[in-house]
Amino acid sequence: MVETGHFALVLAFALSLVQALVPLFGARINSQKMMAVGGPVAVTGFALTALSFAALATAYATSDFSVANVWDNSHSLQPLIYKITGTWGNHEGSMLLWVLILSFFGALVAAFGSNLPATLRANVLAVQGAIGATFLLFILATSNPFARLNPAPIEGRDLNPILQDLGLAIHPPLLYLGYVGFSICFSFSVAALIEGRIDASWARWVRPWTLVAWMFLTGGIAMGSYWAYYELGWGGFWFWDPVENASFMPWLAGTALLHSAIVMEKRSALKIWTLLLAILTFSLSLLGTFLVRSGVLTSVHAFATDPTRGVFILCILTLFIGGSLALFAFRASRLTAGGLFHPISREGALVLNNLFLTTATATVLIGTLYPLVVEAVSADKISVGAPFFNLTFGPLMVPLLVAVPFGPLLAWKRGDIFAVAQRLMAAFAAALLAVLVTALFIDGSSVFAALGVGLAFWLICGALTDIAVKSGLGSVAPGVMLSRFAGLPRSVFGTALAHLGLGLTTLGIVGTLCFGTEKILSMRAGETVQLSGHTLRFEGLYPAQGPNYSEDRGRFALLGADGSTTAVITSSKRSYPVRQMTTTESGIKTIGFSQLYLSLGDEATDGSVVVRLWWKPLVTLIWGGALVMMAGAAMSLMDRRLRVGAPSRRRRSAGAMPSASLP
Amino acid sequence: MTRKQRRLSVIAGGLAFLGAATGLTFYALGQKASYFYMPADLTTASLQPGQRIRLGGLVEKGTIERGQGTTVAFSVTDNQKQVKVTYTGILPDLFREEQGVITEGIFRPDGVFVADSVLAKHDENYMPKEVADGLKSRGVWQESKK
């Protein structure tokens, strides 16, 4: 089975070469036969990669320690779920997952792209095949997951205990679906550059793929953030760690792409810019893969490092980023620009969005790469952390967030900012009220905190205003309004939901950062501690035994007003004997949208235990908001207009018209 | 305004924005980037009072003192010089004697380094990269320390 997997991977590599070359050549000499090769080859390549992945997963599930990769990252006592997720909890397996998802997207284009122009389809599949070929070569040459050990060890070395968590089942697949999903946008852009033209079907295709990739990337980042939050025991949700930035940069650029693609689709303006942005977004995904996988950074994501891998990925990076940008430089002038617009208009607002988002991406990029550059040119080792990003990223985000509610309400081509401001009066009043209530009743010590809460409410109420105005609130009878509401295109709801989610995430961040409290103390069994109105009693440490670890569980009782126990929170110190590693499992109790978070430290000689506890108000909204953003993307995808492959049979419904033209 | 003027003003506005963002970025890099030192580097480094740095090395054997409750003191060494560090909070799970560690904070006037964060390695195979490189360049790296 293992050799079958290896063989399937070699075959997939050979097929990806065919996929990269034959349709490309066919498109040049206009041979229908050669162009038609792309589709079946892409599907077969996906099937082979899937077979290969299944072979590795089976080796993991059955604890076949004759495979070096399994031996290094698994143990027979691990629960089955961690045996399976361990397949991608290591360098080789995670690269295989990367390629699997890449070929999956290629197969999707092949399967659903029958209504694309033949040459475009052929070129897209060829570019997709070329990316696949390089990464398959990378795996086969430097990161073979199927290498055997002889004689086979009896027992494995266990998966890194930090990774023995449900998060590993969700975070990497979602993140890769996002990262790699942008490869489709990239392939479409490069294909358009090869052909030297962008037609209507191009924009209709790229927008939904961007939405899909963006949706998964949002989920992947949010899941990674939550995982780090509860697993590392530091109580933080974002560390501005280079590895986090590596996934955040494609997200920022992808968000910009999502917005510029709207302009391109509706108004056929910003074509060249959208194309460039699509290239840049996937380039940042590749850069992220390089940063995480090459070992230039120290992090939990950098599995065993090997310099040849870094050099190899750097070559891939140069080939694709350099190649596509060079192609862009040569061919972009051939593409015609279109669609003029006034600066104050929906297009103008979306350009503003792009300006801020790409600048923010650039600051994150500089902050992430600067230490590497400094270390390369001088011997100094520096680190750029949260203080830098708070100073640069923060000021860039605030004006953008203030502008968000205006965008969807502005008319295309030429908008009336005063009319829009009038419509947003209610949202503004709500935001002002939130500022006052926060300052007067909750905590008046920080002006910024109150303004932050106001900003979040501004976003939330702005999103609701968007829906209300477009349904005709205040200008038509309730019955008409209801039918208008029902008739609004799904993409309008999608926009409003995504912006609402952004508001919720903002509220969560402001709540946690500005109103959170924290205590570090040493406790003995029976002692109580107060934190932000909650009383906790430490009940003591109890030993327990897990399948492949032993642990000391610290039990804490959350006491009600009458002194009775309302909930029990446990935080434990686990020790994994195989890797001789201890981990801390934090104890979390969700109360409303807020959380009580505690983590156990070392036991002192006198029997007391260091305990660190946090009260994190509204913290769950950070990830809840991300889920709402994902729902917004899913809603937009269901819009008939965007349905992949659906020819635009139905005209746009009345609700899609700019709001300013409504009576 | 003519169309040309309008376009020019938009471009000028965009450039001014980018200029401001670039300025802010480089100002922030100068202010907020924190340098990495090992104990022996400190004799030659010129530190401003109150400057945040990252101090890395090995946790010296037998120096971990757990004081009253939550404050821990230990020495960080690169086998040439050592620096006393205090930290209030929970140490990482993989914090051990003679293991690599990176602490971040500022020096107190009396020469004790007050750390507000302590990072150890992520798993048992690796030492923080900066520490490993630093030890290698001093020739005190031992493969067994891995």
| ipTM of predicted complex | 0.81
Q: How many CB atoms lie within 10 A of CB B132?
A: 18
Same domain membership, residue A526 and residue A446: no
Q: pLDDT tens for residues A617-642?
A: 999 999 999 999 999 999 999 886 65
pLDDT over 60 at A650, yes or no: no
Same domain membership, residue A206 and residue A149: no
B35 inside 8 A of chain A by CB = yes
* Of the candidates A77, A600, A20, A63, the residue with the CA atom closest to the CA atom of residue A320: A20
Tokens of A565: 């126990």
CA pair distance A470, A116, nearest whole angstrom? 33
- Per-residue pLDDT, averaged over A463-491, amounts to 88
Tokens of A494: 């999608």
Q: Considering the domain boundaries, does residue A322 fall inside one?
A: yes
Q: Considering the domain boundaries, does residue A339 fall inside one?
A: yes
DSSP state string for A453-473: HHHHHHHHHHHHHHHHHHTTT
Provide the pairing of β-strand A528-531 with B65-66.
unpaired
Q: Considering the domain boundaries, does residue A179 fall inside one?
A: no
Portion of chain A with pLDDT greater than 90, in percent: 58
pLDDT value at residue A253: 97
Tokens of A137: 């070569």
Portion of chain B with pLDDT greater than 70, in percent: 84
CA pair distance B94, A573, nearest whole angstrom? 12
Determine the residue of chain A that is closest to B10 in CA distance.
A343
Compute the C-alpha angle A237/A241/A247, nearest 5°. Answer: 85
Q: Strand, helix or coil at A564?
A: coil
**pTM of the predicted structure, to 2 decimals:** 0.91
pLDDT value at residue B141: 59
Name which of A304, A384, A520 is nearest B89 (Cβ-Cβ): A520
Q: Considering the domain boundaries, does residue A398 fall inside one?
A: yes
CA pair distance A161, A544, nearest whole angstrom? 17
Name which of A162, A383, A605 is nearest B34 (Cβ-Cβ): A383
Taking contacts as CB-CB distances below 8 angstroms, the residues of chain B near A382 are: 33-36
Beta bridge partners of A594: A591
Same domain membership, residue A260 and residue A145: no
Q: Considering the domain boundaries, does residue A185 fall inside one?
A: no
Of A347, A368, A403, the last residue of a domain is: A403
pLDDT value at residue A656: 38
Distance of alpha carbon A88 from its chain centroid, rounded? 18
Same domain membership, residue A646 and residue A584: no
Name which of A366, A391, A395 is nearest B32 (Cβ-Cβ): A391
The total of structural domains in chain A comes to 4
CA pair distance A425, B123, nearest whole angstrom? 54
Suggest the residue from A296, A383, A581 to mutate for an interface test with chain B (most B CBs closer than 10 A). Answer: A383
B1 inside 8 A of chain A by CB = no
Q: How many CB atoms lie within 10 A of CB B21?
A: 19
Tokens of A280: 């840049």
Band (A653; pLDDT cuts 50, 70, 90):
very low
**Is B122 labelled as part of a ligand binding site?**
yes
B10 inside 8 A of chain A by CB = yes
> Is the separation of the CB atoms in B131 and B100 below 8 Å?
yes
Q: pLDDT tens for residues B49-93?
A: 788 888 888 888 888 887 666 788 999 988 888 899 999 888 877
Tokens of A498: 């995504």
- What is the domain range of residue A83? 1-164
Mean pLDDT taken over chain B: 80
> Is the separation of the CB atoms in B59 and B76 below 8 Å?
yes
**A residues 389-408 lying closer than 8 A (beta carbon) to B:** 391-392, 395-396
- What Cα–Cα distance (Å) separates residue A17 from each residue in A39, A200, A329, B66? 13, 30, 26, 61
Q: pLDDT tens for residues A172-193?
A: 999 999 999 999 999 999 999 9
User: According to DSSP H, which parts of A30-160 are helical?
Assistant: 32-61, 68-73, 80-85, 91-112, 118-142
Tokens of A361: 């991406």
pLDDT value at residue A361: 95
* Of the candidates A448, A500, A481, the residue with the CA atom closest to the CA atom of residue A663: A481
Interacting residues of A180 by C-beta distance below 8 A, sequence separation 6+: A98, A101, A102, A105, A213, A285
DSSP state of A424: T
Of A361, A377, A403, the last residue of a domain is: A403
Same domain membership, residue A224 and residue A87: no
pLDDT over 70 at A607, yes or no: yes
- What Cα–Cα distance (Å) separates residue B113 from each residue in B46, B73, B83, B108? 15, 10, 7, 6
Q: pLDDT tens for residues A147-156?
A: 999 888 999 9
Q: Of A23-27, A124-128, B63-67, which range is least confident?
A: B63-67
Q: Considering the domain boundaries, does residue A359 fall inside one?
A: yes
